[in-house]
Amino acid sequence: MAELNKQQAQHKDHLFLFYERWHNTPYRLGGQSLRGVDCSAFVQIAFDEVFKHPLPRTTDKQSDMGESIDYENREFGDLVFFKTGIKIRHVGIYIGDNSFMHASTSRGVIISRLDSPYWADAYWQTRRVL
């Protein structure tokens, strides 16, 4: 991964402050608050607050945003998407070091590794929207 420029470094700091507030918020399908949030709402709120960049509400619509990026070229702030079931999609924010921030259905808002067996198997695509 390339070194972060000044704006990216500021965004990373802000994203981790945002994460501290949301960490361990439980997953709730359709949720959009600290009482419960789903993956696409978490990403939408993070992009609005941290990057000042609006995103659609659903994973389906978010997966059409920006440009497709090869797995090995992903950068901080890219959206990473997964197919976790026949019609089930999941999204998170790539934060570098092969890790991403997301709202997990089983563990709430956490940071996970892309190279863990579950996520490596479910990986679908990366999109750059910034």
| pLDDT tens digits, 82-98 | 999 888 899 999 999 99
**Residue span of the structural domain in which 119 resides:** 6-128
Q: pLDDT value at position 97? A: 95
Distances (CA, A) of 67 to 16, 20, 91: 24, 29, 15
Asked whether residue 20 carries a pLDDT value surpassing 60, the answer given is yes
Residue 23 a catalytic site member: no
Q: Out of 11, 14, 53, 90, pick the active-site residue.
A: 90
- Answer whether residue 118 shows pLDDT above 90: yes
pLDDT digits (tens, 9 = 90+) for 45-91: 999 999 999 999 999 999 999 999 999 999 999 999 999 988 889 99
Q: Is residue 1 included in any domain, yes or no? A: no
Q: Give the domain CATH number at 60.
A: 3.90.1720.10
In three-state secondary structure terms, 111 is: strand
Measured distance CA(80)–CA(128) in Å, rounded: 9
Instruction: Please tell me the total count of domains within the chain.
Output: 1
Residue 124 lies in a domain: yes
